[in-house]
Structure 1
Amino acid sequence: MSEVDAIQNGDGSPIVINEVVGFIGAGNMAKAIAFSLLKKGILTPENVLASAKTQTNIKDWEALQCETTLNNEDLLQKADIIIWAVKPQMFPGVINSLKKVVEGGSVTCRTVMHVSVMAGITLTNFSAQIQSVTGEEGSSRCFRTMPNIGLEVNCGVTVFSGPADTTDAERNLLNNIFKPIGLFYEVPEGQINAYGGLFGSGIGFMFPIIEALSDGAVKVGIPRNISLEIAAQVMKGAGELILQKKKHPGAMKDAVCSPGGTTIAGIAALENGGVRSAVIKAVEAATLRGEELGKAAK
């Protein structure tokens, strides 16, 4: 695994993506990526195109003055980079619809970069499906990524895998999309479902923990609104300490557990409740589910 280094412009100016970036699927993950980049000025509204099944799903994009469409085929003709953000089970249906349009001769496919953010779908499957639409050997470059929703607040994680002949220019372009809004790593594709279980689903595992901290605080008399804010800050603080100090979490735990103190009493209660085992099983279950989704989308 290697972390892709941030790309700096030679004159020190901010990174700007000049390519037209299209999103097939305009839901939460697509918004997390596009809206964060728009806020940073890395993307501009005139270089963003989003497609969805209904007008309701694209109203937030229109509010930011992005171009929108209800026809996925528009992206094949206009976008330089297409980010596939539909649900994995919907992917085959979208592909079949595009095939019919292309075969009908009303759409000419351009050479573009196709980037999947769909859980479970292998790069081989994704590339084959895209190839079945574009119809020309090597006409489109395909990459598989797995991001999490933390991108929405510039605190996400994304991993990616590409073909064996991935170029530095392609890595740099992916880097410019994902690195400004979180951690970004290139990893072996066979590990992507596991990474998805760790951070793609893992961020969701944190919300019940925050809620549980808040519930415990309410039980001992702290108001709900205060307890939720403090619980979230506690989670944020723990993460920042690990990231900045680069210490093992066990060492960090030991540092805050005084002999016979309050924290070690709470740690013992967590161990008695099987929290550690439950979280391990949750990552494993999410990983296996990612593999199942990939099989279902074939």
Structure 2
Amino acid sequence: MLQNKKISFLGGGAMAEALIRGILKAGLFKPEQVTANDISQERLHYLADRYQIRTSPEGAAVAAEAEILFLTVKPQVINQVLKHVASKVRKETTVISIVAGFTIAALEEALPQVPVVRVMPNTPVAVGEGMSAIALGTFADAGTGEIASAIFSSVGQVVNLPESLLDAVTGLSGSGPGYAFVMIDALADAGVRAGLPRAQALLLSAQTLLGAAKMVIETGEHPGKLRDMVTSPGGTTIAGIHVLEQRGVRAALSDAVIAAANRSRELGKK
């Protein structure tokens, strides 16, 4: 499916680098199949040296040769980039956009009859534990979806959803790492408060959330059932959970997701 295909990235930032790292590590592509474009020569030199991929400052040329074209630029420049490269993109090229707030309709207006895919990934793709939601455009068939799924599965997990749900995805998994970092930091501070050294408290905090998340995914059990398994009558865990419920942590997380999803909708209208 991906053998010998040329894959290109318009935009060589952190998310592009994470994807490049993931697909190379997974063996989906060889370095010589991958080309990155960016306005920064320094960034291009870094990517070429680090991953042995091809780089070019010429976006139109990169788009012209791509069989799979990633749009990994900032939202504020996507219209300018598309105007520059649109005439060079072939009808058989698969275009995958991770540009926040830029709709499939807008992509298809700029790239008529081209199979486009819109993806909402999150930052843990950088360590191979990302969560990505994929929405297919009008001209994208099952094969196009398989290509996108294979690529993003190399850096985490994938779900296929209608585009109408991507704002909700943004509020939950797109912004979710930020919520998790706050929780890790707060738990580590509490560990220090309880007498632990800072480094050990941070490791205990981060690994605990990582382990809990893996238990949910790998056992398939509802988190409520897993919680009950560690809450002995009159024990330490139920005492701590009682405080969380008293302080409204569950409601605060729910409100955070809804606020982020609403903000994503607002940004998409601009």
| TM-score, scaled relative to structure 1 | 0.84
CA separation in 2, counterparts of 1:85 and 1:40? Answer: 20
Q: Does 2:177 correspond to 1:203?
A: yes
Which residue does 1:74 correspond to in 2? 61
Which residue does 2:214 correspond to in 1? 240
Q: Does 2:179 correspond to 1:193?
A: no
SS in 2 for 1:68: strand
Correspondence for 1:62 among 16, 35, 48: 48
Which one-letter code corresponds to 1:149 in the other structure? T
* Deviations 1:56-88, CA, capped at 9 Å, x for gaps: 322331111111122211222221111111121
Q: Is the 8 A contact 1:21 1:82 kept in 2?
A: yes
Q: Is the 8 A contact 2:119 2:134 kept in 1?
A: yes
Which residue does 1:214 correspond to in 2? 188
CA separation in 2, counterparts of 1:176 and 1:59? Answer: 27
CA separation in 2, counterparts of 1:229 and 1:68? Answer: 38
Single out whichever of 234-243 and 55-64 deviates more from structure 2.
55-64
CA separation in 1, counterparts of 2:146 and 2:185? Answer: 39
Instruction: Give runs of aligned pairs for residues 162-181 of structure 1, distance below 5 A.
Output: 162-164=136-138, 166-181=140-155
Correspondence for 2:107 among 100, 121, 126: 126
Q: Does 2:58 correspond to 1:84?
A: no
Which one-letter code corresponds to 2:189 in the other structure? D
Aligned length: 268
Residue 266 of structure 1: how far off its partner (Å): 1.1
Residue 242 of structure 1: how far off its partner (Å): 0.6
Which residue does 2:81 correspond to in 1? 94
C-alpha change, 1:218 and 1:196, in structure 2 (3 Å) is: same
Structure 2: segments with no counterpart, 5+ residues: none
Which residue does 2:90 correspond to in 1? 110
CA separation in 1, counterparts of 2:165 and 2:241? Answer: 31
C-alpha change, 1:16 and 1:81, in structure 2 (3 Å) is: closer
Structure number with the bigger relative contact order (C-alpha 8 A, sep ≥ 6) is 1
CA separation in 1, counterparts of 2:46 and 2:188? Answer: 32
C-alpha change, 1:185 and 1:260, in structure 2 (3 Å) is: same
Residue 293 of structure 1: how far off its partner (Å): 2.1
* Deviations 1:19-77, CA, capped at 9 Å, x for gaps: 11111111111111111111222111111111112123223311111111222112222
Residue 201 of structure 1: how far off its partner (Å): 1.0
CA separation in 1, counterparts of 2:6 and 2:252? Answer: 43
Which residue does 1:18 correspond to in 2? 4
Q: Is the 8 A contact 1:148 1:158 kept in 2?
A: yes
Percent same amino acid at aligned positions?
Answer: 34
CA separation in 2, counterparts of 1:36 and 1:242? Answer: 24
Q: Is the 8 A contact 2:71 2:95 kept in 1?
A: yes
Correspondence for 1:150 among 103, 121, 124: 124
Structure 1: segments with no counterpart, 5+ residues: 1-14, 103-107, 132-137
| TM-score, scaled relative to structure 2 | 0.93
Q: Does 2:200 correspond to 1:226?
A: yes
Residue 93 of structure 1: how far off its partner (Å): 2.5
SS in 2 for 1:114: strand
CA separation in 2, counterparts of 1:230 and 1:210? Answer: 9
- RMSD between aligned residues: 1.8
CA separation in 2, counterparts of 1:166 and 1:62? Answer: 31
Which residue does 1:294 correspond to in 2? 268
Single out whichever of 121-130 and 163-172 deviates more from structure 2.
163-172
Which one-letter code corresponds to 1:23 in the other structure? F
SS in 2 for 1:158: strand
Q: Is the 8 A contact 2:116 2:139 kept in 1?
A: no
SS in 2 for 1:191: helix
Which one-letter code corresponds to 1:83 in the other structure? F
C-alpha change, 1:72 and 1:190, in structure 2 (3 Å) is: same
Q: Does 2:8 correspond to 1:27?
A: no
